[in-house]
Chain A
Amino acid sequence: MGRKLLLEHIDVPGIETFDVYRNHGGYKSVEKALKTMSPQEVVEEVQKSALKGRGGAGFPTGMKWSFLAKPEGVPRYLVCNADESEPGTFKDRYLMEKLPHLLIEGMITSSYALGANTSYIYIRGEYYFILEILEKAIDEAYAKGFLGKNILGSGYDLDLYVAPGGGAYICGEETALLESLEGKRGNPRMKPPFPAIKGLYGCPTVVNNVESIAAVVPIINIGADEYLKIGTEKSSGTKLISACGNLARPGVYEIELGLSVEEFIYGDDWCRGIANGKKIKALIPGGSSVPILPAHLITKTATGETRYMSYESLSDGGFASGSMLGSGGFIAFDEDQCIVRNTWNFARFYSHESCGQCSPCREGTAWMEKVLRRIENGEGNMRDIDLLADINKKIEGNTICPLGDAAAWPVAAAIRHFREEFEWHVTHPQDALKGNYGLLSMPSITL
């Protein structure tokens, strides 16, 4: 087992209450930051730690913070993005459910660093029960003087609010999130201006993922130098991985970045291999929007090197033979799974969740979904496969926000690596209706 920075005390009974959390070293980073460090020093520490955003894109958090505009007389905001909706990703849920105070502690330290006096946690509507957990924790923090006016006598004020969304994937995109938080329809904004210049209510805003904000706590506690020693050269620290699919022991794991993929899938400390003694067929390492990897590219890269759970190793080979660490939604497929059905399922998700603002995404995602449904249901043509490949080329990069890319990548990768399976669906429509590629009896799902 590797070192644990976030989930160290997760199994302690009552850790969701303030007192237990405090007894286990909680809120130390707030004390350290507010009493001994200037806001700029906190920012520099996070910058030095090379923490990469844990929400999916992997943008360095410290760099994002350094972009924040600081005009005089204008409030600044920190918004925590807890709109975790990517299929296969459930790490933030686990963290917030079990360790609400860790997120609150991170929010206080980060808000102090950014000079924000009001901060928000934007949580997806389906996590309403977590909203209640968080609000209870926030009340406790207020009562103990860690939130509100003059925190720990430092003269720093902070109000923290939890705002629930309506349950839209698109509101996880930072500008759509801000629109939604402002009470508007959750449509992504045109960029530039970026939120760091003009964000919430037109003021400079930083939007960070739950895990990124939580990771600030250990960075301040142990220091950036110590944090840099964990993980690999380019991917520092630990990462929560939500492992699911046909794994023997799925769940949320905190790994040190740089663990080998093979060890993570088959190791006794981790997922313990594929369920029911089957073989792995494909892997999606970072949430549904990242490219799928076929069996031969999972533990080894195209050049034959060992593949590690890190930002750089998983994306080795680009999209041709690599993928992305993304949000850490680790989905494994065993030999019985149908890639076409799975791709269709994801396409259905993206077409349902497209905001409908820009034409390539609105029309393209729905078109891909319809074509994939036809192929899966034995009504496809050979030309449909090329059509799909062409549609996703035309969506990619032409949309306002990354949802278009997120919808296009999995389809493109599935066709790239599993073209034979698509072709089999076309040439064996009857078999495709009854079962899967080269496999048997999958109960048909009706919509």
Chain B
Amino acid sequence: MVKVTIDDIEIEVEEGTTIMNAARMIGGDVVPPAMCYYSSLPGTGGKCRTCLVEIAAGSTKDPRPMPKLMVSCSTQVQDGMIVKNRTSEKVIENRGAVVEFLLINHPLDCPVCDQAGECDLQDLGFSHGKAGTRYEEERRTFDPIDIGENIKLHMNRCILCYRCVHVANQLTDQRVHGALHRGDHTEISTYIEKAVDNDFSGNMIDVCPVGALTDRTSRFKSRVWFLNPMNASCECTKCSGKAVVWMFGKQMYRVTTRQDKYGEVEVVDGKPEWICNECRFDKKDLSKWTIEGPRHIDRHSVISQGHYEKPNPLKNATKNIE
């Protein structure tokens, strides 16, 4: 066990823990934001640079401060390390710069984007961004394409977190999409349109922090904050069958994985509960699901403003559905 201090809060964690995970154990505002790191997908992280933190002391053995800001998602804690996140002006300044970088080529088409309301970039822009922009140049643009039967790719919105590439590498038997070109012209794409056709490829939509990958079966149907998310389960041979169904009255608009407060898929008994494409795209019928109760979404302020779950939620919800 090693002791680490993050924003003046001391915590003891196992050796090999990253600063990010140590901060998540403390919870609350101490947790640095993450756009590319995804704990259930090994290998993610380090790319977006939003989780930069200042290390005021490396360890008890070597208490020198680190000259550069470090990414908390991939830097392991050392005994006696002192980390500054919110308490460091340098961090706040540079994180603001990263947000600016992420936004300069982002189309800011939130009014027509399906991700609006549950978008990590919106949250990040709200918490760390500036009201104005210094960017006067033309933004780089791509045409939206269908990378799979059910997945739409809006490359303009992509922040190149590579999470979807890791999903394809780790959950599907073959990855058919990836990054093409380089620099600010890098794009996530397939060589052949609609090539992504795999049982678990739909999880790409859930791991996408922005609206670059959206569900073609539910896009443009409704804003997310008008929908009521419900925990639901079904008998499925391919996946856990545990999902969140998004209802409008008795109509089911979409199905997603169950996500925790960091926007990551819930892990039960060490296994992330990904869902298969059949559950996600084809079972849009209440009769195929058992509703467990309302889903509490505490991360995205807009959705949680609904408060539909307040008075005896379970009873009311099931009654409505009956």
Q: Which A residues are within 8 Å of any B CB, using their own CB?
A: 168, 170, 185, 190, 351-360, 362-367, 370-371, 374, 387, 394, 397-400
Contact = CB atoms under 8 A, between A and B. Distances in A.
Nearest to B160: A356
A356 B183 contact: yes
Nearest to B98: A359
Contacts, number: 91
B98 A360 contact: yes
Contact of B105 (A190, A363, A371, A400): A363
Given A367-B135, A398-B52, A357 B160 contact: yes
Interface residues of B, number: 36
Contacts of B71: 190
B94 A353 contact: no
Contacts of A387: 134
B47 A358 contact: yes
Given A356-B184, A359-B47, 15 more contacts: A170-B182, A190-B46, A190-B71, A351-B183, A353-B183, A356-B179, A357-B186, A358-B46, A362-B101, A363-B101, A374-B137, A397-B68, A397-B69, A398-B49, A400-B47
B283 to A, nearest CB: 36
A387 B105 CA distance: 17
Given A397-B68, A398-B52, A398-B94, A362 B46 contact: no
B137 A360 contact: no
Contact of A363 (B46, B102, B178): B102
Contacts of B183: 351-356, 362, 365-366
A355 B160 CA distance: 11
A359 B159 contact: yes
B101 A359 contact: yes
A367 B160 CA distance: 17
A417 to B, nearest CB: 24
27 contacts: A190-B71, A190-B74, A352-B183, A353-B183, A354-B184, A356-B160, A356-B181, A356-B183, A356-B186, A357-B47, A357-B162, A357-B186, A359-B49, A359-B101, A359-B102, A360-B49, A360-B97, A360-B98, A362-B183, A363-B101, A363-B102, A367-B101, A370-B137, A371-B137, A394-B97, A398-B49, A398-B69
B250 interface: no
B185 interface: yes
A360 B101 contact: yes
Nearest to B96: A394
A436 to B, nearest CB: 24
A85 to B, nearest CB: 13
A366 B184 contact: yes
A351 B100 CA distance: 17
A351 B104 CA distance: 15
Contacts of B186: 355-357, 362
Interface of B: 45-50, 52, 67-69, 71, 74, 94, 97-98, 100-102, 104-105, 134-135, 137-138, 140, 159-160, 162, 178-179, 181-186
Select the residue from A352, A355, A362 with max chain B CB neighbours within 10 A.
Answer: A362
A360 B71 CA distance: 13
B94 A394 contact: yes
A317 B69 CA distance: 24
B134 A398 contact: no
Contact of A356 (B50, B101, B104, B185): B185
A378 to B, nearest CB: 15
A370 B137 CA distance: 7
B48 A354 contact: no
A342 to B, nearest CB: 20
Given A362-B160, A370-B137, A185 B49 contact: no
A219 B259 CA distance: 60
A389 to B, nearest CB: 12
A323 B171 CA distance: 48
Contacts of A398: 49, 52, 68-69, 94, 97-98
Nearest to B50: A359
A399 B183 CA distance: 13
